[in-house]
Amino acid sequence: MHSLTRSLAHVLHSLGLDQRRCAHCLRPFSPADLTSPQDAFCPQCAVELKPHSGPCCHLCGLPLAGTHAPGNAVCGACLQDPPPWHALAFHGLYQGTLRDTLLQLKFDGKIYLAKALAYFLLEAASCLPLPDAVVAMPQHPNHLRNRGYNQAHELARALCHLAALNLRTDLLARVVPGPAQAQLSARARRENVRHSFRASPLTAGMTLWLLDDVMTTGSTLRSATHALLTAGADRVDVLFVARTPQHT
């Protein structure tokens, strides 16, 4: 059976029928394993999309200087004001090809990228205990109406499909739209989103994964985590694809 699969792969390859288009750069390539849907990116992009492996703050994911930082190292900001979540997991830094892929998912309507990125999330989340439910960072209905979709929800949906997890859209709502965050300082961002979320009492006793595409200052994730814990969640772990490499 194995040699049959191999000779079939050989025939397909010689005819060029084994080719896929890279989910990021759209160049055709031949995946190493035809049966694996995981190979969504060409070899060049795959190298650039490798998970971040350098030392980082274990509470917020901020990369730390020096190669000898211990596994439980904490950055200055988290020492002063530790985040409310229990643990965090993410794939890589928000730069280069990963940033570009996430921007395409968010702004160009390339929702199929969520499926490819869900494999990264699943791998990153292997250090977290399995949740009772996955909650995607919600958008305010006004925002959702303009954009048409929520990239965090698309990622959560793909991840839950992949890992047979329970996606819940009724546990957390964004009740204040809030202005664009990009121009605000970290402190202003946190003030801005402090009362932005309302969590359901149905979260009581649950272990949750709160999922987002990118973590910048963490103020939105902090506020949403706080709302879930206040509503009674037992444990909230945050999971996202990419971390900005510095506090902004």
Residue 127 burial (CB < 10 Å; 0-12/13-18/19+)?
exposed
Nearest approach in angstroms of CB 228 to Zn ion is 20
Site for Zn ion contains 57 (CB under 5 A)? yes
Site for Zn ion contains 45 (CB under 5 A)? yes
119: helix, strand or coil: helix
Tokens of 124: 């990153």
Nearest approach in angstroms of CB 84 to Zn ion is 13
Residue 100 burial (CB < 10 Å; 0-12/13-18/19+)?
middle
CA-based radius of gyration for the chain: 19
Quick one: 62 or 171, whose CB is closer to Zn ion? 62
CB 165 within 8 A of CB 134: yes
- Residue position matching structure tokens 């925002």: 143
Specify the stretch interacting with Zn ion by CB under 5 A; choose among 1-9, 41-49, 184-192, 239-247.
41-49
Q: Which residues pair with 135 in a beta bridge?
A: 210
Specify the stretch interacting with Zn ion by CB under 5 A; choose among 1-9, 34-42, 110-118, 158-166.
34-42
Task: In whole angstroms, give the CA distance from residue 240 to residue 213.
Answer: 5
Site for Zn ion contains 56 (CB under 5 A)? no
Quick one: 101 or 150, whose CB is closer to Zn ion? 101
Candidates 40, 56, 75, 211: give the one binding Zn ion (CB under 5 A): 75
Say which residues have a Cβ less than 8 Å from residue 36's Cβ, sequence separation at least 6. Answer: none
Specify the stretch interacting with Zn ion by CB under 5 A; choose among 69-77, 85-93, 129-137, 237-245.
69-77
Nearest approach in angstroms of CB 60 to Zn ion is 3
Quick one: 57 or 160, whose CB is closer to Zn ion? 57
135: helix, strand or coil: strand
Count CB neighbours of 241 within 10 A.
28
Say which residues have a Cβ less than 8 Å from residue 146's Cβ, sequence separation at least 6. Answer: none
Site for Zn ion contains 136 (CB under 5 A)? no
Quick one: 73 or 144, whose CB is closer to Zn ion? 73
Site for Zn ion contains 93 (CB under 5 A)? no
Site for Zn ion contains 46 (CB under 5 A)? no
**Interacting residues with Zn ion between 9 and 28 (CB under 5 A):** 22, 24-25
CB 136 within 8 A of CB 197: no
Site for Zn ion contains 157 (CB under 5 A)? no
Return the DSSP state at 51.
P
Candidates 49, 56, 59, 221: give the one binding Zn ion (CB under 5 A): 59
Candidates 60, 88, 93, 105: give the one binding Zn ion (CB under 5 A): 60
- Binding residues (CB under 5 A) for Zn ion: these are 22, 24-25, 42, 45, 57, 59-60, 62, 75, 78
